[in-house]
Amino acid sequence: MAKPKNQLTSTSLDSIINVKNKQNGENALLGILRGLPDAVLLIDANKRIVFHNQRATLLFGLDSDKISQHFFTELFPTDSALNVVDDNWRQFWKTLETDDRIESFETQMLDDKGKTLFVNITQTAIRDDSGSMIGFSAIVKDVSKTRESEQRITRRNAQLFALIDVAEAITAVSDVQTLLAQILDAVLRVTSLKSGCVYLLDEEGESLTLAVDQNLTPRAGE
């Protein structure tokens, strides 16, 4: 019995993509993936990236002319679980093979310059006609700006609470030493520093005296 024209018999993900691209110019699904606002990667069983859309090019700096030289694991820090132990990759593959999908989660990836990107990623198994998993898709949403915005809000909240604490201390504390200690604590919280001190200048403006300190390492002889 003759096989239907253009029937896919290869289980290689990149071979399937190449065949689909030759059918009527380009497969409709691949055409849609190219235009999505989020980065889209298709990865085979050997960790190779066999397809990426324009957004992925912009986000990661992937070279379209050398796509076969790019590996999915290269987009993660060297201490990432996928890079540390091969068993982690095999477990990752097995999980996708069993569950068919790993829902969106936040992680860190790298662009071609080594810059850290905060991303939300969803991975879905890709199967051939027999149902065997031959690769997976990764939809990557850059949330770096959102993360930076959240960090700014956190810093501003810390500043606000520190100012409130200082205001309360000024009205409630009569002891200058205690007041300075609370002000120092507030400043350290706002600046995310772990240690600091306050010196007082004498009335003649000639010498400084340590008034309060926090987490300072004593100098030799003190």
Partners of 41 in the beta sheet?
52, 138
Q: For 15-45, what is each residue's pLDDT tens digit?
A: 555 555 555 555 666 777 777 889 999 999 8
Tokens 């995310």 sit on residue: 192
Question: What would the two tokens of residue 73 be?
Answer: 């694991």
Cβ partners under 8 Å of residue 49, min gap 6: 41, 42, 43, 62, 67, 70, 71, 72
Number of helices and strands in the chain (H, E) = 7, 7
The residue that leads in pLDDT, 220 or 178, is 178
- Percent of the chain topping pLDDT 90: 22
Question: Which of 3.30.450.20, 2.60.40.10, 3.40.50.2300, 3.30.70.920 would CATH assign to domain 13-142?
Answer: 3.30.450.20
Concatenating the DSSP letter of every residue in the chain gives -PPPTT------HHHHHHHHHHTTSS-HHHHHHHT-SSEEEEEETTSBEEEE-HHHHHHH---GGGGGG-BGGGGS-TTSHHHH-HHHHHHHHHHHHHHSEEEEEEEEEE-TT--EEEEEEEEEEEE-TTS-EEEEEEEEEE-HHHHHHHHHHHHHHHHHHHHHHHHHHHHH---HHHHHHHHHHHHHHHHT-S-EEEEEE-TTSS-EEEEEEESPPPPTT-
* Residue 1: pLDDT over 90: no
* pTM for the predicted model, two decimal places: 0.58
Q: For 159-195, what is each residue's pLDDT tens digit?
A: 677 777 766 766 676 677 887 888 888 888 777 788 9
Rounded distance between C-alpha atoms, residue 149 and residue 154, angstroms: 9
Domain locations in the chain?
13-142, 148-214
CB-CB contact of 156 with 177 (8 Å):
no
* Residue 2: pLDDT over 50: no
For the chain, give the mean pLDDT: 78
pLDDT tier for residue 64 given thresholds of 50, 70 and 90: confident
* Residue 199: pLDDT over 60: yes
If phi > 0 it is left, if psi is from -120 to 50 it is alpha, else beta; for residue 209 that is beta
